[in-house]
Structure 1
Amino acid sequence: MPEIFTWTPQRGYSVERTPNVAVVKFGDGYEQRQTKGINPLMAKYSLTFRGVNDEKCSRPNAAKAADEFLTARMAVESFYWTPSDTGVQALFICRSWSLTKTGSLYELTATFEQVPR
């Protein structure tokens, strides 16, 4: 059973949706389009997580915790995450991410790709 990713990204993020469509082209520029598969619309989210490494702060550092979570899965294991734009939990994978440290501020940028259940 996949784990659940529980950290909340910064308020702004982008989502890319590319329908999986089969296209057959005919003469005179006419084409016929049809969705492919049982999951024809998967989403890809570009997210940012920030956290401060401060001993006075009782909140866990979201960026470092997210980095540990993603590192443990190594782009092999999928995980559940609930995007705020849909409110529906789905299965995702993260193939790569970047962690930047500036003083006590950590910033993680990642792309979550939806995968079929």
Structure 2
Amino acid sequence: MSRRLDGLVHRRYASAVAQGALLFTESTIHSHHEQGVLFMIRLVPALAKKPSNKPRENQRARDFVNPFLPYDDRLHVAQLGASHHLLLNKYCVVPYHLLITTAKFRQQGEPLDATDFAAVLDAINGLSTQQI
């Protein structure tokens, strides 16, 4: 993927903000020093109230719903290969909060595979700035 994602992200973000498609979530930043490394930790109180999306005991995985599908077209930035999407996070913690999601449902606890890493690499290679 060429370094064309910056423009797509900026245009989609501006459009999504104008359309009211993004919901900004309050957060606070706390710094923590550990072994000479400064960590910036963002706390999001609203996540404590986030509903669980775990399958019930008698629910089969194929009956489980992908929370990112169908995605809101106003939040879609790009297709990353055949298996992933680059989306703006509807529940923003920071501006330009991006998600890389799978096109088909996978359990969140499943190990990452080569297609996941390829999608991340596509996204990184498609961005020319560290500000997104």
TM-score, normalisation: structure 1 = 0.26
Larger helix share, 1 or 2:
2
Structure of greater relative contact order (alpha carbons < 8 Å, 6+ residues apart) = 2
TM-score, normalisation: structure 2 = 0.24
Larger strand share, 1 or 2:
1
Q: Say which one has the larger Rg.
A: 1
